């Protein structure tokens, strides 16, 4: 039967081997990337390609960038209405003054709901 110390040594050896393999894979990936870049540069130079030929020119914004830059807020229908002025509030964000005044006057939020 293995002792705790022996098992811990096996675990440490396995972790070291995993880290070594990860480093080797990362280095291999970097080498492949560098080789791909060099090949692309050679092809561009050989065929005298421009950025327009490669579809890299212009001010087009990718769909991904549009999604990232898009306004993530959603438009929400008003939930409450001020009976005096007709102003509305969605129930999100800071409570408007008219709502605070109505609540302090003894009315409930249920009374101010839009039907």
Residue pLDDT, tens place only, 26-69:
999 999 999 999 999 999 999 998 888 888 866 666 666 666 66
Q: What domains, with CATH codes, occur in the chain?
A: 4-69 (no CATH), 80-112 (4.10.430)
Indicate whether 88 pLDDT > 90: yes
CA distance 55 to 37: 17
CA distance 106 to 115: 20
Give the pLDDT band (50/70/90) at residue 75.
confident
Segment 92-98 mean pLDDT: 93
Residue that is written with structure tokens 């807020």 in the block: 73
The predicted structure's pLDDT at residue 53: 84
**Token pair listed for 66:** 């549009």
Provide the mean pLDDT of the chain: 88
Exposed/middle/buried for residue 44 (C-beta within 10 Å: 0-12, 13-18, 19+): middle
């Amino acid at each position: 039967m293995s002792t705790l110390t022996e098992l811990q040594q096996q675990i440490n050896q396995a972790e070291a081997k995993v880290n070594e393999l990860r480093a080797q894979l990362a280095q291999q990936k970097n080498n492949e990337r560098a080789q791909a870049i060099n090949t692309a540069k050679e092809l561009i130079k050989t065929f005298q390609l421009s950025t327009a030929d490669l579809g890299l020119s212009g001010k087009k914004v990718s769909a991904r960038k549009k999604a990232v830059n898009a306004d993530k807020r959603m438009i929400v229908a008003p939930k409450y209405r001020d009976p005096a002025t007709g102003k509305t509030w969605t129930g999100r964000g800071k409570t408007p003054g008219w709502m605070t005044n109505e609540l302090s006057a003894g009315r409930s939020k249920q009374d101010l709901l839009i039907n």
